[in-house]
Structure 1
Amino acid sequence: MSKSVFSKKYHRFRQLLIQARKVAKLTQSELSEKLSRPQSYVSKYERGERRLDLIEFLEVAEVLEVEPATFIKQLLEDKEED
């Protein structure tokens, strides 16, 4: 079990978060404002400089109007294709 933020799975997780933000037509600044966090918070997790814990992920998913279970299912399906 990898703990690295640089694993393929975590890289794909970050890609899916970026994609969801863009689908929501939000900039990092707009998303961070909705999360009541600094813009650097979004920038750092999108670049892999910090990891999101489960509660943080759920907060981001709510703002992006992404169903967490669907998001995770997509992440797991992508893994199977590797």
Structure 2
Amino acid sequence: MPSSFRSRRHQRLAELLAEYRDKADLHQAQVAQKLGRHQPFMTNIENGQRRVDVVEMLDLAEIMGFDPHELIDLLLKTPKK
């Protein structure tokens, strides 16, 4: 199985997380602080330079107020290649 890192779905995940953060009217630093991280953590996620695990995604959903099921549905509609 090829790596999903930097795949179209991985890129779409990064885009969606940035969109959800913008909709929540939060800055990267605010989200990172709520996660107990530094701002570059969010920059790396939104630039596609860092993977997001399931637990982190759930934490991000709680902080930004999005439905993780919706996020997954959108990712499933994104072509793999």
Indicate whether the TM-score tops 0.5.
yes
Aligned length: 80
Percent identical: 34
1:51-80: CA deviations, max 9, x gaps? 111111111111111111111112222x15
The list of structure 1 runs, each at least 4 consecutive aligned residues, that deviate by more than 3 angstroms after superposition, is: none
Q: Which residue identity does 1:53 align to in structure 2?
A: D
Q: Tell me how large the CA RMSD over aligned residues is.
A: 1.6
The alignment's TM-score, normalised by the length of structure 2, stands at 0.87
Structure (1/2) with the larger helix percentage: 1
The alignment's TM-score, normalised by the length of structure 1, stands at 0.86
Greater RCO (CA < 8 Å, at least 6 residues apart): 2
Gaps of 5+ in 2: none
State the alpha-carbon separation in 2 of the partners of residues 63 and 2 from structure 1.
31
Structure-to-structure mapping, 1:26-65, within 5 angstroms: 26-65=26-65
